[in-house]
Structure 1
Amino acid sequence: MLTMFDVYISAEKKVSGGVDWYGILGVIPLADEGTVKKQCRELALMLYPNKNKSTGADGTFKFVSEAWSLLSDKSKYLLNVSH
């Protein structure tokens, strides 16, 4: 339950006017790709809506999925940060 709150709180924080995608995953911006991927997988397994029936799990899962989508593709991330 605490993890879901952490994700929602991080999603509200803004970094350079945009969403703090690293904060949503709970990693530092200098984290290597392996660390980011590992954390994303752990959160996705914990928050997967079919396994986690808690209210809000589906929303946090979407944030984690979007964070991974952006952070795993540097061109998407750079486009998102520049806006």
Structure 2
Amino acid sequence: MEHPFFPTTTTRAEALRWLTIAEKLLSKRDLMGSKSFATRARDSDPTLLPADQILAVADTLLSGDRRIGNNLQDWYSILQVSHHQGRDSELVAPQYRRLALLLNPHKNKFPFADQAFRLVLDAWTVLSNPSKKSLFDKELAFYMQPQPQPIAEFH
């Protein structure tokens, strides 16, 4: 994938430099900037696990900042599954495990990994419990309904 700001030929040293920049941006909570550089580092050298760890932190925190309706946390978004995929617990559980491994604060020492890990645990607490999940799905369906448009009056 060609990136508009970065050259396409890279070396491992360049990938490591981008990873360093991504970490600095993450420490300042510039999630989009961090994500951009971490993505470039991962695309340049897919063997860099730290790039995946930074991306997991940034993506989880970005999802955690989003709200639905009346300040409702989007648990599916935090686990990086669509609302439709979330109905299938066989898709949610592996995604939870993947993120929990990437974000585990004992292994992921990047800034805010502990906060991202907590969000993933909270999402799993809701989505793995059938009654909590059912309540969340009902609230989500209510807020996701198309809102009626006001009728314009013509004079």
**TM-score under structure 1 normalisation?**
0.88
The higher-RCO structure (CA 8 Å, 6+ apart) is 1
Partner residue of 1:24? 78
Of 77, 89, 103, the match for 1:47: 103
Q: Which moved more, 1:60-69 or 1:12-21?
A: 12-21
Q: Report the RMSD for the aligned CA atoms in angstroms.
A: 1.7
Of 17, 26, 33, the match for 2:89: 33
Q: Structure 1 residues 23 and 79, CA, compared in 2 at 3 Å: closer, same or farther?
A: closer
Offset at residue 16 of structure 1 (A) = 2.5
Q: Which runs of 5+ in 1 are unaligned?
A: none
Alignment pair present for 1:68 and 2:124:
yes
Q: Give the whole-Å Cα distance in 2 for the aligned partners of 1:6 and 1:47.
A: 11
Q: Which runs of 5+ in 2 are unaligned?
A: 1-53, 140-155
Percent identity, aligned pairs only?
39
Of 114, 131, 139, the match for 1:58: 114
Larger radius of gyration: 2
Moved over 2 A (4+): 79-82
**TM-score under structure 2 normalisation?**
0.49
